[in-house]
Amino acid sequence: MWGLEMTDAEVLAEAIKSRRGKQTLEQAIGRAVRNRAGKYEDYMRIMADVRDLAETKGISVNEAAKELANQP
């Protein structure tokens, strides 16, 4: 359960928005998860969803994260 009742899509949106310089998507998502009192399992679930979508659609993980962040 996320602090302040955030969804995975909201955590992804926060990670994308707050990404710093040359920081990888994985680092940004890890920080967003920690900021919301999430656990490593939450990070792994989100990254698995991002990577699965990227592989399925043949797009980058950055594009997949943006697509998932825009889901309700």
Q: What is the pTM of this model?
A: 0.86
Q: Take residue 15 and report the two structure tokens written for it.
A: 């990670």
- At residue 42, does pLDDT exceed 60? yes
What per-residue confidence (pLDDT) applies to 2? 44
Number of domains in the chain: 1
Residue 1, pLDDT above cutoff 50: no
Question: Which pLDDT score is estimated for 21?
Answer: 87
Cβ within 8 Å of residue 16, ≥6 positions away: 25, 28, 65, 66, 69
Give the pLDDT score at 5.
Answer: 62
Please check whether residue 53 is in contact with residue 64, taking contact to mean a CB–CB distance below 8 angstroms: yes
Per-residue pLDDT of 21-37, as tens digits, reads 899 999 999 999 998 88
pLDDT at position 29: 95
Domain residue limits at 50: 3-69
